[in-house]
Amino acid sequence: MGLFDIIGEAPPEQFDTAEALIQSFRAQAPCSRCSLSEVNQNNKGFIHRGNLNARIAVLTDSPFAEDIAGESVFCGPGRYAWEKIIKTLNTPEKGKNLPYRPLSDEDFFMTFIMQCRTAKDVVMKKRKKGKKNVFIVDPENANKQDVLTCFNLHTWPVLQMLPNLQVIIATGKIAIQMILREEYMHDRHVGNFFLSEFFPKVPVFCLDSLRMYDIASDFKMTELREDLDFFRYKYLETGRVMKVHSYYQDCRSRGIEVSLNQNI
């Protein structure tokens, strides 16, 4: 049986909440289920941040040393971009009031596709942005089988058990490829909603890796603001993506092609 064949199975029956499942992973740490653990022998078993009752889940690829030390997400690369995202989503249009309660970390559940970071075949660059030195790590060549193992045995079961999950934000190439099971194309994916076979009832919104926004040009940051405006309008303000998602499911069952990003 292949790893993708477990799609559709329920999380382990002995755990009735996501919190209990996470605690079981942490209790058995360090995890040694795949070769990534060979270079992460002190891994925590499962790292997350935010609220298990949140409506929005945020997925990124793998933790960095700061994330592992802090046992959290976006403690290192991606931290500045995450702060920018929250600020942007909480800034109303000029002359208008914010049509929803300002967001905080408690409105999100954040975790990784892989709970370890590989030190093998990693490209690391150091760039100067203002007064900050920003490190960018791209685990492009991480063993794909290990990615599948970690996602299927850790992240996916936890996300399945989140009681209020409505939408997922996938950030970066690895997270998008994993959750959508298709080849990553920046122009196609970033800033749009998609359907995932892992979560047929939950629309997936795609962004670039947050660490890329840490060192981004003004043009790329403008693109990020436009993408966030689209997310805010479609989900936070109007909830239209949820209606389109139901419509999409119906069309798909009848063999009709339709996009989650269109208006109905």
| CATH number for the domain harbouring residue 56 | 3.40.470.10
In DSSP terms, which residues pair with 207 in a beta bridge?
171
As a whole-number percent, the residues of the chain with pLDDT over 90 amount to 45
**Residue 130, in any domain of the structure:** yes
Q: Which residue has the higher pLDDT, 158 or 253?
A: 158
Interior angle at CA 105, CA 205 and CA 61, nearest 5: 50
Domain count, the chain: 1
- Confidence band, pLDDT 50/70/90 cuts, at residue 264: very low
Instruction: Establish if 11 belongs to a structural domain.
Output: no
240-261 residues labelled b (16+ CB within 10 A) or e (exposed): ebbebbeebeeeeeeeeeeebb
* Higher pLDDT pick, 197 / 253: 197
Name which residue leads in pLDDT, 62 or 9.
62
pLDDT band at 255 (very low <50, low <70, confident <90, very high): low
**Is 0.85 topped by the overall pTM?**
no
Inter-residue contact 195 to 248 (CB < 8 Å) = yes
* Residue 108 falls inside a structural domain: yes
The average confidence (pLDDT) of the chain is: 82
pLDDT one-digit tens code per residue, 186-217? 889 999 999 888 888 899 999 999 988 988 88
Q: Would you say residue 4 lies in a domain?
A: no
Domain that holds residue 239: 16-253
At 101 the pLDDT is 94
Residue 2 located in a structural domain:
no
Tell me which residue of 43, 6, 5 sits closest to 157, measured CA to CA.
6
Q: Dump pLDDT digits (tens) for 98-109.
A: 999 999 999 999
Q: Establish if 69 belongs to a structural domain.
A: yes
Give dist(CA 56, CA 162) in Å, integer: 10
Question: Is 8 part of any domain?
Answer: no
Radius of gyration of the chain from Cα atoms? Answer: 18
* Interval 237-262 mean pLDDT: 71
Give residue-wise pLDDT tens across range 17-48. Answer: 999 999 999 998 888 887 777 777 788 899 99
* Per-residue model confidence as pLDDT tens digits over 116-157: 875 544 444 555 555 555 544 445 544 566 788 889 999 999
Of 88-97, 155-164, 165-174, least confident by mean pLDDT is 88-97
Residue 164 lies in a domain: yes
Q: What confidence tens digit (pLDDT) does each residue in 41-58 have?
A: 788 899 999 999 999 999
